[in-house]
Amino acid sequence: MLRVGLTGGIGSGKSTVARTLGDLGAVVVDADAVAREVVEPGMPALQAIRERFGDAVFGSDGALDRPALGRVVFTEPAALKDLEGITHPAIWKRTAELMAGAPDDAILVHDMPLIVEKGMGADYHLVIVVGVTEEERLARLVRDRGMSAEDAQSRIDAQADDDARRAAADIWLDNNGTREHLDQRVRRIWAERLEPFNENLIHGIRARRPDALTLSEPNAEWPAQAERLIARLRKALGDTAVAIEHIGSTAVPGLLAKDVIDLQVGVRSLADADEPAFLEALSRKGFPRIGGVAHDNGKDGTEWPKRFHGSADPGRVAHVHVREVDGPGYRWALGFRDWLRADPEGRREYSELKQDLASRVLSTGDYAEAKEPWFDSVHDRVVGHEGHSPG
C-alpha cells in the first residue's frame, strides 16, 4: 500500500486535490473530517473541550462552534496546545482505524494539514504539498470562507512557512493558477508517479533510469531529496542502522552526476541486513532488496561485500548501499565523498572523466566499470585527505 501525505497551508486548495485523487481511486483519509467526527455530540472529546474552553465556543444547539474555537486557539499558543492534547489522541485512534481498513493494494492519501509542522514526512512514501502564495491564500480565505483578514492571517501565521513546506515536499503542486490546470497536474502525477510507485511497491520492484548514460548538471534539490529518503530509512530501521549518509556524486556540490541519489546505511554486521525484519522494513518503506550478496571492487585487491536496495519510486531513483560500519567499503565511500568536497582539483578531474566517458555513449554499467581505474589511481590521495582511512 502506497501511503501519500497530502498537505498545504490553509486556503491552498488541498481538499480539491484530495477530491480529485479520490475520484481517481485513492482511499482518502481526511484529517479535518476525522477531527470533526471526534467532537460530534456525545463524543468524550467534546465534553473535555467544554470543560477547558467554556460555553463561549459552543452554539445554542450545543454543537461546537468551530470558528469561535479557532479564534481562541489560533491567537493563543497555549490554548492550541491544550486543544491538541484533547483531540489528537482521539483523532489518531480513528485515523489508524480508517487506514487499517484500506485494501492492501490501495493508494492511501492522508489529507493532513500539519504534516510539516509535526515533522511527519517520514511516515509516508511521498509527501505532496499544495503550494499557493500567502497573499493568494489570504484573499481566498476572506473571499471564499468569509473570514476577516485578521482571523485569516492569524491562521496562516500559526502554520509552517513555504520554506519548511518545500523542504518536506517530494511533490510541490503549484495551485496559483486555474482549477483546470490543477486537475491536469494531479491526474498526471497519479498516472506517472503514484500508480507506478504503488505497483513497484506491491511487487518489490525498484525504479530504474534508462540504461543509456545521461549526466545531469548539479541540482540544488539533491541534498533535500536525500534528507527525506534518509528520514524514511531511519524510520524503517531504527537502531539497526548505526548511521545513514548521503554519498556519491549527488552529495558533492557542483559535481556532474547521474540523477540518482546514493545513500549508505551502516550496520554493525551484514548479518543484521539479512534478517527478515530488516528486509521487510525496507521493502514496506519502498526500498526492495536487489539480488543477494553484492560487492564493491576493493582497493586492496579483494571484493568488499555489501547489500544493495533500490527505491521503488519512479520519480526519485535512489540506490541504498548497506555496509558494515567498520568495513573498508563503508570508509571508502565516506572518504571519497569528503575528499571530493574538499579538493577542487579532484572534482575537476572527476568531472572531466565523467564527460569523457559520457561522450563514448556507454551504458550505465559500462560507465561504472570504466571509472574503476581512476578510483584506484586516486586511492592514496583519498586516504591522505585529513587522515581519512577509507580502505
In this structure, the answer to whether residues 153 and 229 fall within a common structural domain is no
14 is in an annotated binding site: yes
Does residue 112 have a pLDDT over 90?
Answer: yes
pTM of the predicted structure, to 2 decimals: 0.89
- The DSSP result for 273-322, as a single string, is HTSHHHHHHHHHTT--B-SSSEEEE-TTSSEEEEEEEE---TTS-EEEEE
* Same domain (yes/no): 39, 88: yes
pLDDT, one tens digit per residue, over 330-369 is 999 999 999 999 999 999 999 999 999 888 867 778 888 8
Q: Is residue 204 a contact partner of residue 283, using CB atoms and an 8 Å limit?
A: yes
* 249 annotated as ligand-binding: no
Query: 183 lies in a domain?
Result: yes
Does residue 191 sit in the same domain as residue 233?
no
Q: Is the pLDDT of residue 390 over 60?
A: no
pLDDT of residue 83 exceeding 80, the answer is yes
Final residue before a domain boundary, out of 146, 169, 203: 203
149 and 262 in a single domain? The answer is: no
Q: Are residues 287 and 363 in the same domain?
A: yes
Specify the residue for cell string 514496506: 284
- What is the number of domains present in the chain? 2
Question: How many other CB atoms are found less than 10 A from the CB of residue 90?
Answer: 19
Euclidean distance between CA atoms 233 and 230, whole angstroms = 5
386 confidence band (pLDDT: 50, 70, 90): low
How far, in whole angstroms, is CA 217 from its chain's centroid?
22
Q: Is residue 154 a known part of a binding site? A: no
Give whichever of 47-61, 117-131, 155-169, 297-311 has the largest mean pLDDT: 117-131
Q: With contact defined as beta carbons under 8 Å apart, do 289 and 280 qualify? A: no
Q: Is 269 labelled a binding residue?
A: no
The CA distance from 139 to 130, in Å, is 16
Are 265 and 193 within one domain?
A: no
Statement to judge: residues 99 and 239 lie in one domain: no
Asked whether the CA dihedral 317, 322, 326, 328 is positive or negative, the reply is negative
**Other C-beta atoms lying within 10 Å of the C-beta of residue 359:** 9
Q: Which of 169, 203, 237 is the last residue of a domain?
A: 203
Same domain, 128 and 262: no
Q: Which domain holds residue 298?
A: 222-387
| pLDDT score recorded for residue 321 | 97
Integer angstrom CA distances of residue 3 from 285, 288, 318, 371: 9, 16, 18, 38
As a whole number of angstroms, the distance between CA 326 and CA 266 comes to 9
Q: How far apart are CA 316 and CA 318, in angstroms?
A: 6
Tell me whether residue 214 is in a domain: no
Q: Report yes or no on 213 lying in a domain.
A: no
In the block, residue with C-alpha cell 551484514: 270
Q: Which range, of 72-76, 162-166, 284-288, averages the lowest pLDDT?
A: 72-76
Helix ranges (H only) for the chain are 14-24, 31-37, 44-53, 66-73, 77-100, 134-145, 149-157, 162-168, 179-189, 195-203, 222-237, 270-273, 276-284, 328-342, 344-359, 364-370, 372-377, 379-384
Average pLDDT over residues 29-41: 92
215 falls within a domain: no
Mean pLDDT of 58-78: 88
Q: Is 301 annotated as a binding residue?
A: no
One-letter amino acid for residue 208 of the chain: R
pLDDT band at residue 186 under the 50/70/90 scheme: very high
Q: What is the CATH number of the domain that holds 135?
A: 3.40.50.300
Quick: pLDDT tens for 214-233: 889 999 999 999 999 999 99
Q: Is the dihedral of CA 185, 186, 191, 192 positive or negative?
A: positive
- DSSP result, 131-168: E--HHHHHHHHHHHH---HHHHHHHHHTS--HHHHHHH
* Averaged pLDDT of the chain: 92
Query: Can you say whether residue 35 is alpha, beta or left, with left for phi > 0 and alpha for psi between -120 and 50 degrees?
Result: alpha
Instruction: Looking at the structure, tell me whether residues 249 and 383 fall in a common domain.
Output: yes
What length is written for the chain?
391
Task: State yes or no: 365 annotated in a binding site.
Answer: no
Tell me, yes or no, whether 188 and 279 share the same domain: no
Same domain? For 192 and 231 the reply is no
Q: Has residue 375 been placed in a domain? A: yes
